[in-house]
Amino acid sequence: MERARDLSDPSARTAAGRDLSELPKAHLHLHFTGSMRHTTLLELADKYGVHLPDALRSGEPPKLRATDERGWFRFQRLYDAARSCLREPEDIRRLVREAAEEDLKDGSGWLEIQVDPTSYAPRLGGLIPALEVILDAVDSASEETGLGIRVLVAANRMKHPLDARTLARLAVRYADRGVIGFGLSNDERRGFARDFDRAFAIAREGGLLSAPHGGELTGPASVRDCLDDLHAGRIGHGVRAAEDPRLLKRLADRQITCEVCPASNVALGVYEKPEDVPLRTLFEAGVPLALGADDPLLFGSRLAAQYEIARHHHGFDDAELAELARQSIRGSLAPEERQRSMLAGVDAWLTG
């Protein structure tokens, strides 16, 4: 799948403009297993004797169309197959280090990576050891690469809300070790946001950002539910808010950042074509945006490629792309000093 990153390679560009891989930006929507390099997946699968589905082994982004039940099941099956290749602490360290390296290539100065540690607990000695392995890997990768990295612990909407409460308590316990937020992922068509309100209250009371997924596979109502029931400070995806002008105004007035993932939206069938993703609608309504890659392993493109989509399919000029980068930085939980440095870098990129 690394071939699909050509869009973010300067040699592959077809339109004039500053190098987007040099534009400082924050990456706020990246899932743990989905951040893996395709070459690493193949090596680990061979190491552990894991039979990968052809769609993963081929290196071409699969057609998922997760807007129907069969498509979402296929997406989950591929994700689970990839996750089964992460079995030892060294695999976790490798994944995080390589994710950091890829982000740096794309101009990221800050990464907030999302993980459900229960998915890795059976092979890493339990829930607490799994999270500690992940956080140790984040510390090492940050020190080795210089990229600022923090973790959002994410509950699974497909599991019982009591499981989410357990994760929220765990996330709060490790707030001084690099956990900065609490999320809610998987199929938003299942269950209600309010079922997880107590878990999110635990996380917020512990000082963590509330950052659930909403407004991807279902419409504006799921974004409103994230705001009303989970008191979201940031929304994972949120693109379907574009269908409701009142909701757009609410997001803009409260400056709630939406973590928009254009390539993912198209790969999962939320929109047919890149130009259908309502980037302009959100941007011009004043909703802060943070472009994200979501799951590069499955969708075939990383962070800079999302900015290329804004440039080539939505006509964003360099000044507007710089503003997108600023919004990602301001929407992050990076320390003020790092934010100032990155914002200064955006200005230098635009004027240089």
Tell me which residues are annotated as active site: 216
CB under 8 Å to 22, separation ≥6 — which residues? 107, 349
C-alpha 99/C-alpha 93 separation (Å) is 10
* The residue count for the chain: 352
3-class state of residue 146 by DSSP: coil
Alpha carbon 19 to its chain centroid, in Å, reads 22
C-alpha 340/C-alpha 326 separation (Å) is 10
| ∠ Cα 86 92 94 (to 5°) | 110
Q: Which secondary-structure segment (H or E) carries 148?
A: strand 148-156
Q: What is the dihedral of CA 258, 27, 325, 193, to 10 degrees?
A: 10
C-alpha 343/C-alpha 24 separation (Å) is 8
Are 64 and 269 in contact by the 8 Å Cβ rule? The answer is: yes
DSSP output for 152-216: EEEEETTS-HHHHHHHHHHHHHTGGGTEEEEEEES-TTSS-GGGGHHHHHHHHHTT-EE--EESS
C-alpha 311/C-alpha 125 separation (Å) is 45
| Structure tokens that stand for 63 in this block | 């057609």
| Structure tokens that stand for 229 in this block | 């029931």
Q: Which secondary-structure segment (H or E) carries 282?
A: helix 279-284
